[in-house]
Structure 1
Amino acid sequence: MNALIEWIDSPEGLTQWGGPSLTWPVDAARLWQQIDADTLPSFSLKEDGELQAFGQLSPRDQQTTWHLCRLIVAPHLRGQQLGERLCRYLEAQAAHLGGTRVTLNVAVDNQPALRLYQRLGYISSAPVDERGVQPMARQL
């Protein structure tokens, strides 16, 4: 968790990653509780013991829809398809848990993430909200 915290360098970055309910400055123990890491399925990509990416699944609609949330890739590894690997892994986990649809939210000013999700087949599922967040979804 400490490595992940180092990737978040501002209150705005924290809100973009985890939503408005998270508090700054980031404290590992408090963050773990705030993101419900003990109850939500949480997944990491690691190589040689180094954390490369992290994401969670949150159930929706009697667990036929799973929400991909709190997706993040180590800043020094971005642009190497780790975001795609993480999304595909989370989608497979959602399907294994009985999901038939996945959703996610992306800040519209996060163009690399928006392009990734569009490339993976996600489409806008609602208008952009007042915070500049675009809900997206795709069938599994």
Structure 2
Amino acid sequence: MHTIDIITTPAEMLDLVQQAASWIKDPAEFVHWTDREFKFQQPISQFVEGSHPKEVFLLREGGVSIAYAELHKNRFGWVIARVLVHPEFRNQGYARKIMQACIEHVFQTQFVVSLFCILDNSPAFKLYQSLGFKALEKYPDQGLQRMSLISSALVSNPTPLQTA
């Protein structure tokens, strides 16, 4: 049985991002997890500077950390970032589980959640589409695709516009 913890304290978040980063063994995968501005094996203290998440999600099974994801708040609203599954547990549905937990958490208070996918990360892109995310604008100079998911509660019960 798995558990998903939501961590909000900076010290714990730093420990967890260091743990998750240690799961990455090659530079190409590192770019898929971060973006092109960071360098493989760059000190985590530099990596997180200026991009602190509001919450970190950690999926564990039997006390073993299996999957990691971050929630950020920015001009796009809530943004899911840095989803990663430990290499020994990939292709077993854990990325989907942690994504669903993030989505459900955001949808408790908001109607839209976004993310940015590296353009050549087709496994992640397919996962996000299967969860209902729609591709929006591309940022080719950064190698990113913005994607968003709208809560079914908003779609099925839209608030009528007030007219004067």
The answer to whether the aligner puts 1:108 opposite 2:122 as a matched pair is no
Q: Tell me how far apart the structure 1 counterparts of residues 143 and 44 of structure 2 sit (CA, whole Å).
A: 27
Alignment of 1:48 onto 2:59: no
Report the counterpart of residue 4 of structure 1 in structure 2. Answer: 20
Residue of structure 2 in register with 1:138 after alignment = 149
Taking structure 1 as reference, are residues 131 and 86 closer, same or farther at Cα in structure 2, changes over 3 Å only? same
Q: Distance in 2 between matches of 1:25 and 1:34?
A: 18
Query: Does the 8 A contact of 1:18 with 1:35 survive in 2?
Result: no
Question: For residue 162 of structure 2, what is the aligned residue in structure 1?
Answer: none
Match of 1:67 in 2: 79
Question: Aligned partners of 1:88, 1:49: CA distance in 2, in Å?
Answer: 20
- Structure 1, gaps ≥5 residues long: none
Q: How does 1:75-114 map to 2 (within 5 A)?
A: 75-96=87-108, 98-114=109-125
> What amino acid maps onto 2:57 in structure 1?
F
Tell me how far apart the structure 1 counterparts of residues 40 and 122 of structure 2 sit (CA, whole Å). 24
Specify the code of the residue in structure 1 equivalent to 2:73. P
1: CA distance between counterparts of 2:48 and 2:139? Answer: 28
- Superposed displacement of residue 55, structure 1: 0.6
Larger Rg: 2
**Count, aligned residues:** 135
- Whether the 8 Å contact between 1:22 and 1:34 is mirrored in structure 2 is no
Three-state SS of the structure 2 residue aligned to 1:7 is: coil
Q: TM-score, normalization: structure 1?
A: 0.81
User: Alignment RMSD, CA only?
Assistant: 2.3
How far the C-alpha of 1:14 sits from its partner, in A, is 2.5
Identity %: 22
Runs of 5+ unmatched residues, structure 2: 1-15, 152-164
